[in-house]
């Protein structure tokens, strides 16, 4: 079968023929991958950055976002059957640590990540534990089911608090920020302001329904936000992983407001917590992954009932063989989500 591999340490991937996996553990499932999508994490592994060098153990099949079909099940599998269409939570919990036992599997102490710590889904067939499979509703197109995992990030970050009637600032309109614009609107936010520095992404933020878009490189974000809102925004959704965006975003939050942080800064950052958080009485939420499986249920409902339309987020659907073009688009940020089709 075809697979995109990190064959050896160093930048790049190769598309190769590898042996189809056969031996399933009792609770494992063989999934025929029909769509897979490229995540920023895959781009980090492609570039072979510092994080990848310490975490990835080549040779390994990369990729974690997918929609596929169950083709074989281990002897103890009870939750799915052959023919089921599934997407997957990519954070594989241990199911026995304190957090797993107390309904917080997304912060499992022994988390393993698909396509990072074990072979992933940039291939024709992948072995996935039944615990993390999500049977998505038949009404959801495969191209959208493939991106349910990052969509879940947008949902988890946005709906950690009640957005009804709230003024929201989203910093960063990458694929997840774009999805968050739609989630915030579906959740009843009264105004969704988005900040973004890249011209392609600014255009996409418009197409995904942001009420106001500010380019902080061209306009004074803080001044503009206070002119529009008078008192500042109720909640900041930080989705850029940029220090300046976080700092200015916190300055835009009203006294006693909230900030939900998804963006990864890639190391320590220096901000004034006294004036930006403590003295303003701001509540901060750190967001990792998706809640299992409350977030998936919401993702399914929003897509099935067309409360969110991902057609303006999934900008490219390419044949699997054109994966290099997909990575080029991702590297240049000239895209939303890039989906690879294996049908
Ligand atoms: P992305 O890198 O495609 O999007 C980030 C966007 O922020 C880009 O469009 C970029 O132009 C914009 N940006 C950069 N500097 C900015 C600034 N000063 N002001 C406003 N916008 C700015 O990433 P993505 O895939 O959409 O993911 C969003 C973030 O979430 C990333 O940092 C990613 O690493 C992180 N992430 C976290 C989790 C988690 O579990 N916590 C999961 C997935 C992704
Ligand atoms: Zn655990």
CA gap 13, 3 in Å, rounded: 10
pLDDT band at 335 (very low <50, low <70, confident <90, very high): very high
68 Cβ below 6 A of ligand 1: no
- 293 Cα–ligand 2 center, Å: 14
> Domains plus CATH for the chain?
2-147+313-341 (3.90.180.10), 154-286 (3.40.50.720)
Q: What is the pLDDT of residue 7?
A: 97
Atom nearest to 195 CA in ligand 1: 20
Of 44, 64, 106, 156, the catalytic one is 44
* Ligand 1 centroid – CA 263 distance (Å): 5
% of the chain exceeding 90 in pLDDT:
100
C-alpha 320, offset from chain centre: 20
The per-residue pLDDT for range 53-65, each reduced to its tens digit, is: 999 999 999 999 9
pLDDT exceeding 70 applies to what percent of the chain?
A: 100
44 is catalytic: yes
User: What's the CA-to-centroid distance between 60 and ligand 1, angstroms?
Assistant: 25
Query: Over 52-107, what HEC string results?
Result: HHHHCCCCEECCCEEEEEEEEECCCCCCCCCCCEEEECCEECCCCCHHHHCCCHHH
Closest approach atom of ligand 1 to CA 175: 26
Active-site hit among 41, 157, 171, 254: 41
pLDDT in tens, 189-240: 999 999 999 999 999 999 999 999 999 999 999 999 999 999 999 999 999 9
Q: What is the pLDDT of residues 64-98, one digit of tens each?
A: 999 999 999 999 999 999 999 999 999 999 999 99
**Contacts of 127 by beta carbon, 8 Å cutoff, 6+ apart:** 21, 24, 25, 28, 29, 30, 31, 119
What is the mean predicted confidence (pLDDT) over 19-39?
97
Residue 41 is among the residues annotated as catalytic for this protein: yes
C-alpha torsion angle, residues 249, 91, 340, 155 (rounded to 10): -40
Q: Return the number of other C-beta atoms located less than 10 Å from residue 266's C-beta.
A: 12
Question: Measured between alpha carbons, how far is residue 64 from residues 2, 72, 114, 132 in Å?
Answer: 16, 19, 5, 12
Is the Cβ atom of 195 under 6 angstroms away from ligand 1? yes
Q: What's the pLDDT at 94?
A: 97
Query: Is the torsion defined by CA of 183, 186, 188, 194 positive or negative?
Result: positive
213 and 181 Cβ atoms separated by less than 8 Å: no
Report the separation in Å between the CA atom of 106 and the middle of ligand 2, taken as the mean of its atom positions: 8
- From 43, 65, 239, give the residue whose CB has the most ligand 1 atoms within 8 Å, as the site to mutate: 239
- Please tell me the distance from the alpha carbon of residue 290 to that of residue 89, in angstroms, as a whole number: 8
CA-closest residue to ligand 1 atom 18: 245
Q: Taking the chain, what is the end-to-end CA distance rounded to the nearest angstrom?
A: 13
Ligand 1 atom index nearest CA of 177:
26
Mean pLDDT of the chain: 98
DSSP tag of 274: I
ipTM for the whole complex:
0.99
For atom 34 of ligand 1, the residue with the nearest CA is 264
Closest Cα to atom 17 of ligand 1? 245
Which strands form 60-61's sheet, in the order they lie side by side? 14-17, 2-6, 60-61
* Locus of tokens 């409902």: 301
> Looking at residue 202, what is its pLDDT?
98
3-state secondary structure of 141: coil
Residue 262 CB less than 6 A away from ligand 1: yes
Q: How far is CA 118 from CA 55, 57, 62, 111, 158, in A?
A: 11, 9, 9, 11, 29
pLDDT in tens, 286-310: 999 999 999 999 999 999 999 999 9
Q: Is the CB of 194 under 6 A from ligand 1?
A: no
**pLDDT-derived band of residue 252, with 50, 70 and 90 as boundaries?**
very high
Residue-level pLDDT at 260: 99
Confidence label for 148 from pLDDT (cuts 50, 70 and 90): very high
Q: Which atom of ligand 1 is nearest to the CA of 330?
A: 3
According to the model, what pLDDT value does residue 235 have?
98
pTM: 0.98
Nearest atom within ligand 1 for CA of residue 41: 34
Kindly indicate the confidence band of residue 186, based on its pLDDT and cuts at 50, 70 and 90: very high
Return the residue whose CA atom lies nearest to atom 36 of ligand 1.
263
Q: What is the pLDDT of residue 298?
A: 98
Pairwise CA distance, residues 30 & 1, whole Å:
13
């Amino acid at each position: 079968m075809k697979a995109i591999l990190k064959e050896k340490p160093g930048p790049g991937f190769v598309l190769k023929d590898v042996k189809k996996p056969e031996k399933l553990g009792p609770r494992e499932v063989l999934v025929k991958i029909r769509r897979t999508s490229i995540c920023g994490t895959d781009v980090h592994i492609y570039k072979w950055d510092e994080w990848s060098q310490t975490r990835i153990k080549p040779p390994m099949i990369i990729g974690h976002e997918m929609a596929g079909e169950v083709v074989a099940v281990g002897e103890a599998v009870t939750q799915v059957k052959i023919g089921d269409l599934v997407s997957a939570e990519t954070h594989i919990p241990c199911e026995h640590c304190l957090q797993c036992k107390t309904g917080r599997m997304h912060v499992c102490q022994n988390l393993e990540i698909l396509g990072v710590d074990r072979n992933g889904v940039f291939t024709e067939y992948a072995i996935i534990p039944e615990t993390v499979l999500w049977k998505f509703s038949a009404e959801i197109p495969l191209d959208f089911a493939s991106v349910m995992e990052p969509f879940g990030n947008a949902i988890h970050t946005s709906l950690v608090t009640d957005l009804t009637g709230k003024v929201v600032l989203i910093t960063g309109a990458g694929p997840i920020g774009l999805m968050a614009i739609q989630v915030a609107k579906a959740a009843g936010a009264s105004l969704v302001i988005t900040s973004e520095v890249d011209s392609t992404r600014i255009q996409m933020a418009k197409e995904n329904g942001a009420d106001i878009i500010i380019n902080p490189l061209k306009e004074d974000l803080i001044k503009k936000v206070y002119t529009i809102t008078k008192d500042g925004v109720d909640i900041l959704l930080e989705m850029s992983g940029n220090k300046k965006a976080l700092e200015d975003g916190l300055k835009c939050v009203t006294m006693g407001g909230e900030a939900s942080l998804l963006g990864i800064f890639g190391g320590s950052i220096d901000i004034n917590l006294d004036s930006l958080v403590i003295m303003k009485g701001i509540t901060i939420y750190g967001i990792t992954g998706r809640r299992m499986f409350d977030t998936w249920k919401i993702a399914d409902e929003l897509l099935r009932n067309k409360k969110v339309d991902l057609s303006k987020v999934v900008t490219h659907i390419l044949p699997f063989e054109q994966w290099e073009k997909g990575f080029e688009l991702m590297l240049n940020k000239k895209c939303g989500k890039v989906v690879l089709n294996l049908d």
